[in-house]
Amino acid sequence: MSKTTTTLGRVGIDKSNLTTRDYRLTDSLKFNHKPPTRKAVDPTSLETTEDLGSIPWGLDSYGRELTGKYYIETPNGLNLDLSSHGLMINLNPSRVITPDPTYLVTSRQELSLTRDFVQRELETLGVDVDVLSMNVCRLDPSKQVNTIDLASRYQSVGSMISATRVKGRQYDTAFMLGNTQRQFMFYSKHEHLKHHKHDSTNPHLGRGELRLLNSQTVRRFFGVTTFQSLIDLDPEQLSCEFHNIVDSFVFSNRLDPDSLTQVNYENEKTLFESNYANQRNGIDKYTSDLGIRFLLDNFGSVSNFGRMLGELDSVSRSTRYRVLSKLKTQVERVSFIDNRRQTQTTLDKYNELHRNFGLAV
């Protein structure tokens, strides 16, 4: 069994950025050096004629003045950046512990192994720092699935939800939604691997990456502040929050109105209240009469339909959860049947990605 197979369908950590100001550098000559950007000095100014860019921001253990930026990338993909802003480590935990480019770290034990390796690597480089206490300023939980169609053929879903295409040849078939705090990108991992000259024999391998771009966002969604708290995070909580975030951020209210037959929510609620609300098992009769394909074609997703049910006073919360759970199961059956027929519309693909990245737990 390959490592990819062991993490397929599970949420893991693709990337984590760590920062701190509490560290000591032994030998700056082990690092590449980018000289400081020198600020222009106004010759008519009487306040200063000093070149601010050359002011040192520290000393290494040999007494050498530190200016500008120091950086290095290790063979295991560990990127270190030292400057007046502090130390930043950009790492992919999976790449640290295995050469398999499709593997995702999914357990506390693997994160602990990552920490041990990184700590040893830093000691070799002469950087004295406690990795466990470093702040997490970016976190990319991700998940890989085998798609029904080729993973490179899902760009139409991006158009449906008004996503943008991703620049760069390695992401030719990707789509992304994002802002300054978080992003979600879906792409063909197979095409990505081929671009980077890796072997890949599975064109159905797709990856969804959730990118939390600053420490405040990481803390708000996962309660993670340091690398130690990332290790302590329950993998089940990571998986649950990943799906909840993707569901609300990517798939809720994202459908392009022009891509669907419109349904009038107010009329539909009136229809239910006048014809089904007072019947025994009225909600079940209503959904049965609607049919799962009508529901998906007109509401766009089970979640959208659930929001309408939430506005009906005659439908209790427990009943709503039961009905939605039943409908999700129906969607899976319909998707399976469509797959056997080898027919898949854009809406089918939308629901497939929603099911894999927004609903599965």
Amino acid at 245: I
Strands 69-73 and 127-128: unpaired
* H helix runs in the chain, sequence order: 3-7, 93-97, 108-125, 155-160, 189-195, 215-222, 227-232, 235-246, 265-275, 282-290, 292-299, 302-309, 317-341, 346-354
Position 330 confidence tier, pLDDT thresholds 50, 70, 90? confident
Cβ neighbour number for residue 340 with a 10 Å cutoff: 8
Can you tell me the distance from the alpha carbon of 53 to that of 95, in angstroms, rounded to the nearest whole number? 36
Q: What's the mean pLDDT in 305-328?
A: 84
Torsion angle, CA of 118/22/55/30, rounded to 10 degrees?
A: -20
What's the token pair of residue 232?
A: 């302590």
Angle between helices 215-222 and 235-246 (to 10 degrees): 110
pLDDT for 256 equals 47
Closest CA to 328 of 301, 297, 290: 301
From residue 53, how far is each of 36, 50, 56, 115 by CA, in Å? 5, 9, 8, 35
Q: Which residue has the higher pLDDT, 309 or 238?
A: 238
- Give the pLDDT of residue 314: 84
For 141-199, the pLDDT digits (tens) are 999 999 999 999 898 888 778 777 666 555 677 899 889 999 999 999 999 999 888 88
Q: Residue 164 is inside which H or E element, if any?
A: strand 164-165
Mean pLDDT of 104-112: 95
In the predicted model, what is the mean pLDDT of residues 310-314? 84
Residue 41 pLDDT exceeds 70: no
Residue 1 pLDDT > 70: no
What single letter denotes the amino acid at residue 13?
A: I
| 82 touches 30 (CB < 8 A) | no
What is the pTM for the complete model shown?
A: 0.72
CB-CB contact of 30 with 97 (8 Å): no
Tens-place pLDDT, residues 260-270: 445 566 788 88
Residue 345: what pLDDT? 78
246 by DSSP, 3-state: which? helix
Tell me if residue 203 falls in helix, strand or coil. coil
Q: Which residue has the tokens 């708290």?
A: 229
Q: What is the overall mean pLDDT for the chain?
A: 85
User: How far, in Å, CA of 156 to CA of 175, rounded?
Assistant: 9
In terms of Cα–Cα distance, which of 175, 202, 206, 171 is closest to 188?
A: 206
Tokens of 126: 């002469």
| Tokens 């701190």 belong to residue | 20
Q: What are the pLDDT digits (tens) for 226-274?
A: 999 999 999 999 999 999 999 989 987 555 444 444 556 678 888 888 8
Classified as helix, coil or strand, 84 is coil
